[in-house]
Amino acid sequence: MTCAVVVGLGVWGRFSASAGQAVTDIDWPDVVGGGFLLALAACSLIALLRLRASRATFWLIFSGVSLLCAGLLEDVLDEFRVGAMAYGSWPENLALMIGAVLTGLGLLRWSRQTHANSSEYQEMALTDPLTGLGNRRSMEQALGNALSMSLASNSALSLLTLDLDHFKNVNDVHGHDCGDEVLRTFAGVMQQACRSSDLIFRSGGEEFLIVLLGADLNHARERGENIRRRLSDLYFTGAGGQKFCVTTSIGLTWLGALDDVASLRRRADQALYLAKRSGRDRIELIGPDEAHRLPMATASSVS
């Protein structure tokens, strides 16, 4: 609405300057073009109030648009005074030229910053801030894509669900800062033990999920055992300098021909529940033909 009003005022101002001329003698492209440029400059100044740009970008656009406005306004005033369309003076043309260059540079800089900020915000929305791993939202997207690709190409896909054993005790005894350090360290352990093509996510709390693209049962079990051993070999320093270890229970399943995301996740959770029930600090497997081997785990049973 604002843009339409300013465009109208700009065109009206330039058209009024040509009053008294025959319609065929009026330079209509100049009337419309000049009015539009004036409107663009004015609207850009208004938009500056809403721009999320750096100080340098702001002043580039502000200076450029100010020169554009000055040059265009002087052009309109000259035409009112002369009463006919006239060529601009060199100061006016210089102001327009410099203003256009500065505005273009500023808008280009702002566009790049906006794109970078958008990518950063998108990455933040899909990343767990504590561990740097993918969060639950990105996990759901990636798992669906991975399953579709594996079914389409008839390639292997395995899933590991990992949960830190008795993690609540770590927070209760040693504090949440120590618990956060354990989570960050565990994230690093998984990254070191996995391939670059494996997808690692923090699905919530002390529970994690790893999507192993192209990995069959044997490779997935080897990957899980590697993670379990690496973690159990580490010592953490807790309250009062007390040393303690943390273990993880792991559930493993792999893709079947009739699987969807829900059935794959359900079996992985069942396998994790079996590992917890069987003594923790271990890896248990449930395949596509064992979907009803155990009841669905509850939140209180997996800890």
Q: What is the pTM of this model?
A: 0.62
C-beta contacts of 201-205 below 8 A and 24+ residues apart = 201/128, 201/133, 201/134, 201/135, 201/136, 201/138, 201/139, 201/142, 202/128, 202/130, 202/131, 202/133, 202/134, 202/135, 202/136, 203/136, 203/139, 203/161, 204/136, 205/167
206 is catalytic: yes
Can you list the domains of the chain with their CATH numbers?
2-124 (no CATH), 136-290 (3.30.70.270)
Provide the token pair at 298.
Answer: 């509850």
| Run of H or E including 249 | strand 248-254
Provide the token pair at 50.
Answer: 């809403």
CA distances from residue 185 to 26, 103, 130, 179 in whole angstroms, order as listed: 75, 48, 11, 10
8 Å CB contact between 298 and 276: no
pLDDT recorded at residue 115: 64
Nearest to residue 99, comparing CAs of 61, 59, 68, 58?
68
Bridge pairing between strands 199-204 and 236-237: unpaired
Which residues in 32-58 are b (16+ Cβ under 10 Å) and which e? eebbbbbbbbbbbeeebeebebeeebb
Q: Phi and psi dihedrals of 184, rounded to 5?
A: -65, -40
List, edge to edge, every strand of the sheet that includes 283-285.
199-204, 207-213, 157-164, 248-254, 283-285
Show Cβ contacts of residue 228 under 8 Å, excluding neighbours closer than 6 positions.
247, 248, 250, 281, 282, 283
pLDDT recorded at residue 46: 56
* Residue 208, beta-bridge partner list: 162, 202
10-residue stretch averages of pLDDT, the chain, 303 residues long: 46 46 47 58 59 67 70 56 48 65 68 63 74 91 91 93 96 94 97 94 95 94 96 92 95 93 94 95 91 48 54
User: Out of 79, 92, 206, 207, which one is annotated catalytic?
Assistant: 206
User: What is the C-alpha separation between 114 and 44, in angstroms, rounded?
Assistant: 16
Q: How many of the other CB atoms lie within 10 Å of CB of 285?
A: 19
pLDDT recorded at residue 50: 57
pLDDT recorded at residue 5: 44
Task: For Cα atoms 77, 79, 82, give the angle at the middle one, nearest 5 degrees.
Answer: 110
Show Cβ contacts of residue 39 under 8 Å, excluding neighbours closer than 6 positions.
3, 6, 7, 9, 10
Show Cβ contacts of residue 114 under 8 Å, excluding neighbours closer than 6 positions.
52
User: What is the C-alpha separation between 232 and 302, in angstroms, rounded?
Assistant: 19
